[in-house]
Chain A
């Protein structure tokens, strides 16, 4: 990884992803200790600047920071002064002035982490981690997804042994609301950088307006794709998509693009089922599939902490080996 920010998977490249995944392996071990904490970032301050609510991602980052012994400052939009007409730049520089080494930024609009990085660069050296910006990127989610696929396949299957690139030859289907999904954009970049072949499965209304330059295939036939894929990655469908007329009804969406129990039987013996959460059981994925043997959805959440420790350590750490 180059630079002092993690704004997107696009900045990382295959080598950068590999490096972080190797680092995450060590932090999984830290998480299993009786006292799951190392001193690596003692004295550093990590600000979680969440301009859009996301309890799960915020807790994951804050847990990661605390396990590295960093101090954590939390800023959420409900407690912000944005409503009072202060510019975003002023808000960010005010927090920076209190002393912050890293900003973990979540915002409903694409590009805010890049803007924050620019403003911070005018005054100091604080680094920025993108914790999800609009429909742009969510790089730590993509990293934890790659991490989960490689670890789970290695643990479960003979075919899961190490490959030149971690996901070489795998077929991954990303199903659902690609258009509005930052997870999909980061996953497409990360999965394909690591050698996977990615197929997007969605109605045309839920695909991005253009896929020019995207390393993906597109299908509107979920069942055919399921029979051939190694990973079925389901995305959350939000209720707004009905009122905005992207799909006629939840019922029709589930009938055409939902991973129902009967469709799940089409998956091959080594296929994994994933979802970035929060899951809407019975809509994009049936409850029994969420809880089934192929599902690694809770493993994704657990791995998220280790991956975020790796990212924070990489950006803020001394570069020395991870100590006790």
Chain B
């Protein structure tokens, strides 16, 4: 395979180069014109594009097992590949939850033949019920690196402390959905001026902030590796900045939708804008963008959350929270973040790869001998999101009908071109 005339971008910098892939590894990288095209090689045009280590999503819901009417590993991985991803971390809030080696093995088995590398996360608590620790060591033995009860917060500080202590011997990351359930109650949008006008129960920013502060204190006390999922508030960003300065082993992610959208989107009661944590105020979004630019937030992660139409065609209070995002993440992050594209790619590729423990397989650098997990991104490509054209089994995107800039042109998984010219190959 010959990736022609792109700009190679990885953690070592950017340079114009052709890339040759043989089998499942990168064999040669050299300035345009210096390499001869191997006879019979597939040529993928990368003119005007960035050739980068494949994107890595720390946070997506593939719904299998148990939620196949919303998404399957097959459809979700196809959506991921079309988005430029070569690896995704599958959240464990399936039915049954990934609380045991058996479920983890099942997911890994279902993921054979997927269009991207699927790495299951395990739950922190048994059945995600928040009552007792899940069998983390047996899941770690199956390769699980990230543990989380995502969708729910680990509400008990005592249980969270034990989970953090226990995780240290496993080389694992404890990841939390930071919203204190006692403070969110039945809230369904950000609490503030808009929720007050719209008459919808609110989820206050402090519900995130008190949990982030608690988790940071526990991480400092236990020495555990902590990852904070989908940060959404200015106060949480401040807390993470201070904790990093104090040497706490913490990383954090933000979603494309929290970078792009604010709470006023809910004004028309369109349930496609319902998500947890909720779309926040302008000041929160500004703080997140600053934090990404300054390195306080380490990764952009989708929180891809597919739901069937009937889960969204109900009242705003009853609607399922979440948005699909794998196919639009790069475009939304590029179009709305105001960050240079090099920064966006770092936040979506090698930085999350390192957090997920995938360095060496995913996340580059793009050099001879490296695993051929690559994406070719066209930052200038303008396109309009058509919900019905998404590869995901679900259509719940708030970006339907919007014109975005930036799209994955080709995706290469272990040397196989799974996406060519924006088309999935299987």
Q: Which residues of A contact B (CB under 8 A)?
A: 85-90, 107-112, 114-115, 119, 133-137, 182, 185, 208-214
Assembled-state Cα–Cα distance A209/B310 (Å): 31
Instruction: List chain A residues, Cβ under 8 A from B193.
Output: 210, 212-213
In the complex, the answer to whether B199 meets A87 with C-beta atoms within 8 Å is no
Is the CB–CB distance between B316 and A110 below 8 Å? yes
Q: How large is the interface on B (under 10, 10 to 19, 20 to 34, 35 or more residues)?
A: 20 to 34
Beta-carbon contact of A111 and B314 below 8 Å: no
Can you name 30 A-B residue pairings with CB atoms under 8 Å?
A87-B309, A87-B314, A88-B315, A88-B318, A89-B314, A90-B313, A107-B315, A109-B315, A109-B316, A109-B317, A109-B318, A111-B199, A111-B200, A111-B315, A115-B269, A115-B315, A119-B313, A134-B200, A136-B199, A185-B199, A209-B191, A209-B192, A209-B195, A209-B204, A210-B192, A210-B193, A211-B196, A212-B196, A213-B193, A213-B197
Cβ of B198 within 8 Å of any chain A Cβ, yes or no, is yes
Contacting residues of chain B (261-297) with chain A, CB-CB under 8 angstroms = 268-269, 271
Chain A contacts of B199 at CB under 8 A? 110-111, 133-137, 182, 185
Q: Return chain B residues, CB-CB under 8 Å to A109.
A: 200, 315-318
Q: Does B202 contact A (CB under 8 A)?
A: yes
| A contacts with B: majority SS | loop
Question: Please, how many angstroms separate the alpha-carbon atoms of A185 and B200 in the complex?
Answer: 12
Contact A209 B196 (CB under 8 A): yes
Beta-carbon contact of A85 and B269 below 8 Å: no
Instruction: List 12 extra interface pairs beyond A87-B313, A134-B199, A135-B199, CB under 8 A.
Output: A88-B318, A110-B317, A111-B315, A112-B315, A114-B268, A115-B315, A134-B200, A136-B199, A185-B199, A210-B195, A213-B197, A214-B196
For A87, A109, A136, A137, the residue with the greatest tally of chain B CB atoms inside 10 Å of its CB is A109
Contacts of A111 in B (CB 8 A): 198-200, 269, 315-316
Q: Enumerate the 4 nearest inter-chain pairs by beta-carbon distance, A residue then B residue, closest first.
A: A111-B269, A136-B199, A208-B196, A109-B317
The prevalent SS among residues of B at the interface is: loop
- Bound Cα distance from A182 to B196, whole angstroms: 11
How long is the Cα–Cα vector from A111 to B271 in the complex, in angstroms? 10
Report whether B196 and A134 are in contact in the complex, using a CB–CB cutoff of 8 Å.
Answer: no
Question: How far is A290 from B198 in the complex, measured between Cα atoms in Å?
Answer: 31
- A135–B315 alpha-carbon span in the complex (Å): 13
Q: Which residue of A lies closest to B310 (CB)?
A: A87
Interface residues of B (CB under 8 A from A): 191-193, 195-202, 204, 268-269, 271, 309-310, 313-318
Q: In the bound complex, do residue B317 and residue A108 qualify as a contact, i.e. CB atoms below 8 Å apart?
A: yes
- With both beta carbons as reference points, the residue of chain A lying nearest to B281 in the complex is identified as A210
A185 to B196, CA, bound (A): 9
Please, which residue of chain A has its CB at the minimum distance from the CB of B199? A136
Instruction: Tell me whether A134 and B317 are in contact (CB under 8 A).
Output: yes
Establish whether residues A110 and B313, one from each chain, have CB atoms under 8 Å apart when the complex forms. Answer: no
Shortest CB–CB separation between residue A126 and chain B, in angstroms?
18
Residues of A within 8 A of B317 (CB): 108-110, 134
Please give, as numbers and ranges, the residues of chain B lying within 8 Å of A213 by CB-CB distance: 193, 197
Which residues of the partner chain B approach A88 to less than 8 Å between Cβ atoms?
313-315, 318
Measured CA separation A135–B192 after assembly (Å): 14
Q: Is A210 a contact partner of B318 (Cβ separation < 8 A)?
A: no
Alpha-carbon separation in the docked complex, A299 to B252 (Å): 59
A89→B313 contact, CB < 8 A: yes
Residue of B nearest to A86 (CB): B310
CB distance from A211 to the nearest CB of B (A): 7
In the complex formed, the residue of A with least CB distance to B309 is A87
Instruction: Pick from B191, B192, B198 the residue with the most CB of A within 10 Å.
Output: B198
Closest to B312 in A: A87
Residues from chain B with a CB closer than 8 A to the CB of A108 are 315, 317
CB within 8 Å for A110 and B269 given contacts A88-B315, A210-B196: yes
Contact residues in B for A89 (Cβ distance below 8 Å):
313-314
Q: Provided the pairs A110-B316, A111-B269, A209-B204 are in contact, do residues A136 and B198 lie with their beta carbons within 8 angstroms? A: yes
Report the minimal beta-carbon distance from A121 to chain B, rounded to whole angstroms: 13
The docked-state distance in angstroms from the alpha carbon of A42 to that of B315 is 32
Closest residue of B by beta carbon distance from A82? B314
Measured CB to CB, the closest approach of chain B to A239, in angstroms, equals 17
Nearest Cβ on chain B to A306's Cβ, whole angstroms: 26
Residues of B within 8 A of A135 (CB): 199-201
* Nearest CB on B from A210, distance (A): 4
Q: What chain A residues lie within 8 Å of B192 (beta carbons)?
A: 209-210, 212
Interface centre among B200, B204, B269, B318 (most CB of A within 10 A): B269
Chain A residue with the shortest CB-CB distance to B194? A210
- Name the distance in Å between A295's Cβ and chain B's nearest Cβ: 28
A112, B269: Cα distance in complex, Å: 8
Residues of B within 8 A of A209 (CB): 191-192, 195-196, 202, 204
B196 partner residues in chain A, CB cutoff 8 A: 208-212, 214
A10 shortest CB reach to chain B, Å: 9
Greatest chain A CB density within 10 A among B191, B192, B200 is at B200
Q: Bound state CA distance, A140 and B324, in angstroms?
A: 39
Residues of A within 8 A of B202 (CB): 209
How far in angstroms is the closest Cβ of chain B from A107? 6
Closest chain A residue to B200, Cβ basis:
A110
| Beta-carbon nearest neighbor of A179 in chain B | B196
- Residues of chain A within 8 A of B195, CB atoms compared: 209-210
**Would you give the shortest CB distance from B132 to chain A, in whole angstroms?**
29
A167 → chain B, closest Cβ, in Å? 22
B316 to A, closest residue via Cβ: A111
A111 CA to B268 CA in the complex, in Å?
8
Q: How far is the CA of A114 from the CA of B315 in the complex (A)?
A: 10
Give the complex CA separation of A119 and B270 in angstroms: 12
> B311: nearest residue on chain A (CB-CB)?
A87
A213 to B191, CA, bound (A): 15
Closest to B318 in A: A109
Shortest CB-to-CB span from A130 to chain B, Å, is: 11
Name the distance in Å between B208's Cβ and chain A's nearest Cβ. Answer: 15
Nearest Cβ distance between residue B117 and chain A, in whole angstroms? 35
Which chain B residues border A210 with CB–CB below 8 Å?
192-193, 195-196
CA distance A89 to B315 in the complex (A): 9
Which residues of A lie under 8 Å from residue B318 when comparing CB positions?
Answer: 88, 109
* Residue numbers in A under 8 Å from B200 (CB-CB): 109-111, 134-136
CB distance from A89 to the nearest CB of B (A): 4
Residue in chain B with minimal CB distance to A133: B199
